[in-house]
Amino acid sequence: MNAPAPRRTRIQQEKRELILEAALEVFSMHGFRGSTIDQIAEAAGMSKPNLLYYFRRKEEIHETLIQRLLDTWLAPLRELDDVGDPLTELRSYIRRKLEMARDYPRESRLFANEILQGAPRIMPLLEGELKSLVEEKVAIIKDWMRAGKIVRTDPWHLIFSIWATTQHYADFDVQVRAVLGPDLGGEGRFEDAARFLEQLFLDGLKPKASPN
């Protein structure tokens, strides 16, 4: 029987968090392949040997960040509830996804970089936990359609479209701000985006009134 791993001290935990924060910045800028332990150590303000005391490999740092990211990233979809009103639930989901784009842009770019490289380190998670969660929510959306609460559409591509449009404001934030300019490109751009996406998705999903 293996002995339990020793508990980390407060200082050790703080050092790990410092490394992970630095690594998030480096990975989100350069991707996994373009990042090095030396870059992460420099960003963390520590020597390479000191960093390697806490994480033995670059892969270990990346895997820790990805696991944290997925836990955070899937939370809004998990909250999509079959008990609530469909349009209210979808509006809240769109809002939560935009809040993540606003508050976690580096994490979004980290995820996008991993996907663009073919998801070599997270494919089991995509084919397992993510796929199961999406299938669970697709079943809810199909139930709403059968009950006539929203119009019939493709539930998988509805979810994909919400992902694509909301995450755009994290992954392409520089482009969004450049095009909007200083007057429209401030923090209010997220509220403007939320109102537009609510109109785009929710108006299209409202059941059509029956003709008299």
Please state the domain extents for the chain: 10-56, 63-205
Kindly state the average pLDDT of the residues 182-204: 93
Q: What angle do CA 165, 186, 110 make, to 5 degrees?
A: 45
The two structure tokens encoding residue 199:
């109109």
Which of 68-72, 152-156, 184-188 is predicted most confidently? 152-156
CATH superfamily assigned to domain 63-205: Tetracycline Repressor, domain 2 (1.10.357.10)
CATH architecture of structural domain 10-56: Orthogonal Bundle (1.10)
Q: What is the pTM of this model?
A: 0.84
C-alpha dihedral (149, 155, 160, 166), degrees to nearest 10? 0
Query: CB-based burial of residue 28 (10 Å sphere; 0-12 exposed, 13-18 middle, 19+ buried)?
Result: buried
Straight-line distance from the first to the last Cα atom of the chain, in angstroms, rounded to the nearest whole number: 74
Rounded distance between C-alpha atoms, residue 44 and residue 19, angstroms: 6
The two structure tokens encoding residue 130:
């993510």
pLDDT (0 to 100) of residue 112:
87
Residue 71 pLDDT class (50, 70, 90 cuts) = confident
Residue 18 pLDDT class (50, 70, 90 cuts) = very high
Query: Is 2 a residue whose pLDDT tops 60?
Result: no
Query: Is 180 a residue whose pLDDT tops 80?
Result: yes
pLDDT (0 to 100) of residue 1:
45
Query: CB-based burial of residue 166 (10 Å sphere; 0-12 exposed, 13-18 middle, 19+ buried)?
Result: buried
Residue 113 pLDDT class (50, 70, 90 cuts) = confident
Looking from the CA of 95 toward its CB, the CA atoms found within 13 Å total: 11
Residue 20 pLDDT class (50, 70, 90 cuts) = very high
